[in-house]
Amino acid sequence: MVTVGFDLDKVASLSRFNWMQSVSDRLSENFFWWLQRFRLLQQVYNFCFRKPNPEIKGLMSQLKYKGFKVVIISASNESYRQELERWLKKHDFVYDELYLKESDENCLSFKARVAPLFCCCYLDDKKEIVDAINRGADNNGQCQAFLYYGQTQKEVFSSIPLFRVFKTA
């Protein structure tokens, strides 16, 4: 079965306030990973700031309908799993697996290691992660990563060779 992976933050989910994500990008990645252990903060963030990306949500549904396996790979803390799964369910996301970091490994090395293990195709919003996956020694061409920068479902389907065989509305 062909597996397609999606990043969570800035791909499957968006912040209602873009400044929140830009601030989090500038501060220590390990600090935010550590902070996610606190359930109340997780709930506040999901309730107040996180919103679903309708384009990616629709794309994930179409891929599941067409027989693909759909996974989400996030550098979020494993202790955040319950809240993330609750948020994904509340917003009717269709996916098979959710992969989260279990250690303070940096985001780039985590995704460059995990995406090729589980995906044939992966969408992420960070160019350095896409580049690392595409040139990774462990990849052997098994996973092709693509940069997501807000494209529509139709644009994503037309820009990724794996999807070009499907007609989109």
**Residue 133 CB coordination number (10 Å):** 25
pLDDT of residue 37: 58
Euclidean distance between CA atoms 150 and 125, whole angstroms: 9
The domain made up of 3-159 has a fold known as: Rossmann fold (3.40.50)
User: Rounded to an integer, what distance in angstroms lies between the CA atom of residue 163 and that of residue 49?
Assistant: 31
pLDDT at 154: 86
Give the pLDDT confidence score for residue 118 in this predicted structure.
93
Name the CA dihedral angle for 19, 22, 27, 30, rounded to a multiple of 10 degrees: 110
Amino acid at 104: D
pLDDT at 3: 94
| Residue 15 φ/ψ region, left for φ over 0, alpha for ψ in the -120 to 50 degree band, beta for the rest | beta
Residue 159: the pLDDT is 85
**Helix 39-48 vs helix 81-90: crossing angle, to nearest 10:** 20
* Residue-by-residue pLDDT tens, the chain, 169 positions: 899 999 998 899 887 544 444 455 545 555 554 555 555 566 666 566 678 999 999 999 999 999 999 999 998 878 778 888 988 999 999 999 999 988 878 889 999 999 999 999 999 999 999 999 998 756 666 899 999 998 888 888 888 888 766 654 4
pLDDT of residue 32: 55
- Residue 17's pLDDT is what? 47
Model's pTM, two decimal places? 0.82
**Rounded CA separation 33/29 (Å):** 6
Q: What is the pLDDT of residue 27?
A: 52
For the chain, the structural domain boundaries read 3-159
The pLDDT of residue 131: 94
